[in-house]
Amino acid sequence: METSTETERVVFVTEDGVPTGETGPKLASHHAETRLHLAFSCYVLRHSDQALLITQRAGHKKVWPDVWTNSVCGHPAPDEALEDAVRRRATYELGLPVLTDLSCVLPKYRYRTPPYQGIVENEFCPVFVAWSEREPEPNPEEVGDWRWIPWSDYGQLLENSEANVSYWARDQFAQLRDRKPFSRL
């Protein structure tokens, strides 16, 4: 069951991604001096045409509104396995309860964003890839828009300096493009 943003907690971690035993309220923990915490990103691909599902964050979100990004991102709950968190958020945000071949492609990815409307993301954020043939049924509280696009078009979008895309999507792309399965797309 999905918790509300008022009760959701982030897990604080060391530079190596090891939980410290401390947690904080999700929204209150994101500010100009955000502590390093655990998160994840996931890229959902479609076998039939090798397309990538990209999403635009809902315009009313407090953090990174209207920004285009990879398929789904989120934070695991305390004591929740990352794979379980990916599946939970894919179901909640995208209406995709079944993801196949879920695997971690960047287990030690870490980033810190420049301030964006007073918020700094500071995350140890393993990156996953998964597959789905289903059409998403996005939750409007989370997703403003979505589309399936070829991987090459995604690269062009990210290389456009004027495109409204997330910092982490641009940063992850440089590390993903030469890794399987992305190097074959």
Q: So which residues are the catalytic ones? A: 73, 123
DSSP structure class, residue 122: E
33 in a known ligand binding site: no
Pairing type for strands 100-106 and 127-131 reads antiparallel
Report the amino acid identity of residue 45.
L
Contact 103, 94 (CB under 8 A): no
Q: Which two tokens stand for residue 171?
A: 């940063």
Q: Is 31 annotated as a binding residue?
A: no
Residue 37, marked binder: yes
Of 120, 87, 124, 121, nearest to 103 by C-alpha is 87
Residue 60 among known ligand-binding residues:
no
- Rounded to whole angstroms, the Cα distance separating 125 from 29 reads 16
Classify residue 93 as exposed, middle or buried by CB count within 10 Å of its CB (0-12, 13-18, 19+). Answer: buried
Residue 63 CA: distances (Å) to CA of 66, 93, 121, 144, 151: 9, 15, 9, 13, 26
Q: Which residues line the annotated binding site?
A: 30, 37, 75, 93, 121, 123
Binding site feature residues for Mg(2+): 93
